[in-house]
Amino acid sequence: MKTLLIMRHAKSSWKAETLPDFERPLNKRGKHDAPRMGRLIRAEGLTPDVILSSPAARARATAEAVADLSKYEGEVKFVSEFYEAGPEAYLKALRTLPDEVRSALVIGHNPALDELLESLIGESEHLPTAALARVKLRLKRWKDLNESVQGKLADFWSPGELE
């Protein structure tokens, strides 16, 4: 059994209109929500073995805050293919994980994460910014992960519901 945590980056700022999308930082709410979700991950005993994140500024900042507050001990791996990608990019990266990794957290963007979650649980579920889904996967090896693997949505948290 493997556990996949799927998290959308925290809320980003649109203030600097000339800033490229890739470089948009977190806004005030995002800077509040990302650490909050890291604390939640730790409190729930879900600190992952691996964190894979988009390298876009807003995802990077989310991943760093979550890693710090969840007490993650590894290095966050930034996967350039996650930016402006479909769900297959996430599956492809996850398939490269070693078998001893029991839980992984991916941090990225919509609509790809909504599509990834739907393909794994068989129903539509929207991830608002900084939301976190925990999916249990009946897998022994990450390399067997594909869109036909049916997982079970075990938990879903949105920062707005935690207040």
Cα–Cα distance measured from residue 119 to residue 112, given in angstroms and rounded to the nearest whole number: 10
Residue 104 CA: distances (Å) to CA of 12, 20, 21, 92: 24, 29, 26, 13
CATH topology of domain 2-10+27-162: Rossmann fold (3.40.50)
The Cα–Cα gap between 6 and 90 comes to 10
State yes or no: pLDDT of 145 exceeds 80. Answer: yes
Summarised one tens digit per residue, pLDDT across range 57-88 is 999 999 999 999 999 999 999 999 999 999 99
- Chain segment 105-135, per-residue pLDDT in tens: 999 999 999 999 999 999 999 999 999 999 9
What pTM, to 2 d.p., does this model score?
Answer: 0.96
Percent of residues, the chain, with pLDDT higher than 70: 99
pLDDT given at position 163: 64
For residue 36, pLDDT beyond 80: yes
Q: What share of the chain in percent tops pLDDT 90? A: 89
For the chain, the domains span 2-10+27-162
Which residues lie closer than 8 Å to 141 by C-beta, 6 or more apart?
99
The predicted structure's pLDDT at residue 111: 97
